[in-house]
Amino acid sequence: MNALNFKDYKFLVVGAGLFGSVVAERIASEKGDRVLVIERRDHIGGNCSSFIDPTTGIECHKFGTHVFHTDNMDTWEYIRRFMALNNYRHRVLAKYKNAVYHMPINLSTINRFYGTDLDPAAAGEFMANEISKAGISRPQNLEEKAISLVGRPLYEAFIHGYTVKQWGTDPRNLPADIITRLPFRLNYNSEYYDDPIQGVPKEGYEAVFRSLLSHKNITVRLNTDYFDIKKDLPAHLIIIYTGPIDRFLDYKYGALGWRTVDLDVKTIEKEDFQGTAVMNYTEKSVPYTRIHEFRHLHPEKFPTAGATVICREYPKPAYPGDEPYYPVNDANDKKILEKYRSESPKNVHIGGRLGSYRYLDMDDTITEALHFFETSLKSV
Ligand SMILES: Cc1cc2nc3c(=O)[nH]c(=O)nc-3n(C[C@H](O)[C@H](O)[C@H](O)COP(=O)(O)OP(=O)(O)OC[C@H]3O[C@@H](n4cnc5c(N)ncnc54)[C@H](O)[C@@H]3O)c2cc1C
């Protein structure tokens, strides 16, 4: 590998995930400046990364199922130049006591769960009655909030156990505002997202990132950690850092809390394991939260060769060395995050999901990267 000559570049992007790749693309093609992208892992794409499983030929998502979805047409107009989507529409099913239900809760879920045959209007009255029976007007925690939205029986079946596994604590210990919406539908619409644009990249995420990073002004260097080269960087470089904000400031106020997942990937000698891409397991007694089956993300590629790839997801706290997935964001995290955010190192911009310590969907990440470029980099 050639030694890096940093003086050839005006910009350094740390991290070849979505935020860093969009920013690098904008710098290269809009400003015409040269940009170096370094990535500590051995692949581009960050947490969106996907690869072809060599045994089955199935496109697998390395960090769990990633479905692109958006209702932001400006963001879509930008990213569609690099990403052609297939016709996959996301649907999630949930297994509870050996029966399968639609998620989010819809008319099918309600009728199946309660053994009823209600039409939309009757189901609306029924749900209003379930909610009022719970008698919660000012929810103080996640449990009370969820019950105030769907009633106690549906909460106990579909939300309680799943939340305990996901967050590793009783939902009564979690703030009510984790739930911003817990929709139930009074019809048989079983789509997970309401967004008009949805799908999975036809050629996989690797192809999307290769295209984003293909401009001649962009150099990508994998297996390169910012903290290993930091001391060699010239002062003129403008740095866009998309790693964890606490790591950037050497954990001086302490480490921010994250949840992560262990992913147990298996190839199964079956054409089809579960008949859908994502099956949630809502009971506390089942140790995993969901099973992904990647072949279903590409209905256009059916049939495959008599084997399928599945992945069980086991949430846990993120320890040093684990990949951070979901910010815990408890009171202590909020306090130390404020301290980290109040420091603005010279010539360094911090962004992306790890830098901002927020869960961001892919479309929000792209929107933020485009906005950041326009407001902070375009005129530099
Ligand atoms: C389990 C899970 C499922 C998801 N599913 C969906 C979905 O279905 N739909 C959706 O829209 N969104 C989904 N998302 C969100 C999506 O993953 C994010 O929007 C996206 O990955 C954010 O991109 P990013 O560039 O900010 O972060 P990342 O993808 O994490 O990229 C940051 C990159 O920086 C690199 N880096 C960090 N530190 C250093 C360093 N010191 N030196 C060099 N490189 C460094 C990292 O290795 C990483 O590659 C999901 C997220 C998770 C956790």
SS3 track for 247-293: HHCCCCCCCCCEEEEEEEEEEECCCCCCCCCEEEECCCCCCCCEEEE
What would the pLDDT profile of 354-367 be if each residue is shown by its tens digit? 999 999 999 999 99
Told to judge if 210 belongs to the known catalytic residues of this protein, a careful annotator would answer no
In a domain, 186, yes or no: no
Confidence at residue 351, expressed as pLDDT on a 0 to 100 scale: 97
Residue 264 and residue 129 share a domain? no
In ligand 1, which atom is closest to the CA atom of 21? Answer: 25
Does ligand 1 come within 6 angstroms of the Cβ of 90? no
| Centroid of ligand 1 to alpha carbon of 135 (angstroms) | 40
Structure tokens at 154: 């549906």
The residue type of 145 is K
In a domain, 187, yes or no: no
Confidence at residue 345, expressed as pLDDT on a 0 to 100 scale: 83
Is 7 or 305 the better-scoring residue by pLDDT?
Answer: 7
303 band by pLDDT with thresholds 50, 70 and 90: low
Residue 334 and residue 247 share a domain? yes
- From the candidates 26, 41, 290, 295, which is the catalytic residue? 290
Mutate to test the pocket of ligand 1, among 353, 356, 370 (most ligand atoms within 8 A of CB): 353
Residue 174 and residue 109 share a domain? yes
**Minimum mean pLDDT among 167-181, 218-232, 254-268: which range?**
167-181
Residue 306 and residue 265 share a domain? yes
CA dist 358 and 271 (Å) reads: 38
In ligand 1, which atom is closest to the CA atom of 67? Answer: 8
In a domain, 207, yes or no: no
3-state secondary structure of 31: helix
Share of the chain above pLDDT 70, in %: 98
Q: Of 323, 338, 361, which residue constitutes the final position of a domain?
A: 323
In a domain, 184, yes or no: no
Residue 250 and residue 330 share a domain? yes
In ligand 1, which atom is closest to the CA atom of 49? Answer: 29
Residue 269 and residue 172 share a domain? no
pLDDT at 181 over 70: no
In a domain, 190, yes or no: no
Q: Where are the beta strands (DSSP E) in 138-268?
A: 197-199, 218-221, 238-241, 258-268
**Minimum mean pLDDT among 20-29, 171-180, 232-241: which range?**
171-180
**DSSP code per residue over 35-61:** EEEE-SSSSSSGGG-EEE-TTT--EEE
CA dist 68 and 65 (Å) reads: 10
The residue type of 314 is Y
Is 369 or 301 the better-scoring residue by pLDDT?
Answer: 369
Residue 250 and residue 332 share a domain? yes
Does ligand 1 come within 6 angstroms of the Cβ of 48? yes
pLDDT at 142 over 90: yes
Does ligand 1 come within 6 angstroms of the Cβ of 44? no
* Backbone φ/ψ region at 105: left (φ over 0), alpha (ψ -120 to 50), beta: beta
pLDDT at 3 over 80: no
What would the pLDDT profile of 27-47 be if each residue is shown by its tens digit? 999 999 999 999 999 999 999
* Backbone φ/ψ region at 239: left (φ over 0), alpha (ψ -120 to 50), beta: beta
Mutate to test the pocket of ligand 1, among 362, 363, 367 (most ligand atoms within 8 A of CB): 362
CA dist 277 and 290 (Å) reads: 10
3-state secondary structure of 221: strand
pLDDT at 319 over 90: no
In a domain, 263, yes or no: yes
CA dist 343 and 353 (Å) reads: 18
In a domain, 96, yes or no: no
Told to judge if 181 belongs to the known catalytic residues of this protein, a careful annotator would answer yes
Structure tokens at 134: 């719970």
CATH code of the domain covering residue 348: 3.40.50.720
Q: Of 291, 307, 323, which residue constitutes the final position of a domain?
A: 323
What would the pLDDT profile of 99-132 be if each residue is shown by its tens digit? 999 999 999 999 999 999 999 999 999 999 999 9
What would the pLDDT profile of 238-270 be if each residue is shown by its tens digit? 999 999 999 999 999 999 999 999 999 999 999
pLDDT at 183 over 80: no
- From the candidates 53, 206, 313, 368, which is the catalytic residue? 313
| Centroid of ligand 1 to alpha carbon of 245 (angstroms) | 14
Mean pLDDT of 160-189: 89
Residue 356 and residue 262 share a domain? no
Residue 273 and residue 230 share a domain? no
What would the pLDDT profile of 75-100 be if each residue is shown by its tens digit? 999 999 999 999 999 999 999 999 99
Q: Where are the beta strands (DSSP E) in the chain?
A: 11-14, 35-38, 50-52, 59-61, 68-70, 92-96, 99-103, 197-199, 218-221, 238-241, 258-268, 278-281, 290-293, 308-317, 326-327, 348-350
Residue 245 and residue 151 share a domain? no
What would the pLDDT profile of 124-134 be if each residue is shown by its tens digit? 999 999 999 99
| Centroid of ligand 1 to alpha carbon of 347 (angstroms) | 23
Told to judge if 313 belongs to the known catalytic residues of this protein, a careful annotator would answer yes
Confidence at residue 182, expressed as pLDDT on a 0 to 100 scale: 66
Residue 358 and residue 218 share a domain? yes
3-state secondary structure of 295: helix
Residue 117 and residue 148 share a domain? yes
For residues 83-104, b (16+ Cβ closer than 10 Å) or e, as one string? bebbebebbbbbbbeeebbbbb
In a domain, 183, yes or no: no
**How many domains in the chain?**
3
Mean pLDDT of 169-196: 89
| Range of the structural domain that residue 306 is part of | 49-91+196-202+258-323
In degrees and rounded to multiples of 5, residue 71 shows phi and psi of -120, 10
